[in-house]
Amino acid sequence: MTKIVYNRCYGGFGLSDKAVIRYAELKGLKVYVERENGLSVTFWTLPPEERTDILLTEDWYSATNEQRMRSNEMYDRYTIQARDISRTDPILIQVVEELGEHASGDFAKLAITEVETGVRYRIDEYDGFESVMTVEDYDWSVA
C-alpha cells in the first residue's frame, strides 16, 4: 500500500510552520525562517548572507529580466514550498503522522489515505477540498 497526503476541507493544501520545520529537520536541511509583515513566511535553506542574487521587493521593478529570472530560480531552489513536496514523500507522511492536526496549514485539514501500490491515482480538487481518486472511481465512456 502507498500512503498519500491530501487536504480534506475547503481552503487548500498547506503545511503549518511547525510541519515545514520538522520536514526540513528530517530531510537534514538547515532552515532559515523569514517572516514578512507578520503575514507571509518563507522557509529558506540558504542563509541570508548567501542570497546575493535574490531581489528584494523594492529592487524588482528596476531589475532586468535576466536578474528577475535568476532571482526566481534561486528562490525556487532554496526555499521549501509545500506545493512542491510529493504527496507520497515518506518524510511528509511521517510529519503528518507525527504532528496530526498540527501539521495542517491555516486553511487545511490534512489526512492520509492508502491506495494499492501500482494503482494509478490522481488528486481531484474543488475550492481546495481534495479527493484521492483511482481509475476505478470513475465511470468511463467508450468512443
In the chain, beta strands by DSSP E: 2-7, 32-36, 40-44, 110-115, 121-126, 129-134
Rounded distance between C-alpha atoms, residue 51 and residue 78, angstroms: 9
pTM for this predicted structure? 0.86
Identify the pLDDT of residue 50.
87
**Domain residue ranges in the chain:** 2-45+80-137
Among 1, 5, 3, smallest CA distance to 100 is for 5
- Which of 1-10, 12-21, 46-55, 56-65 shows the lowest per-residue confidence on average (mean pLDDT)? 56-65
Tens of pLDDT, residue by residue over 38-67, are 678 899 999 988 887 776 766 777 888 888
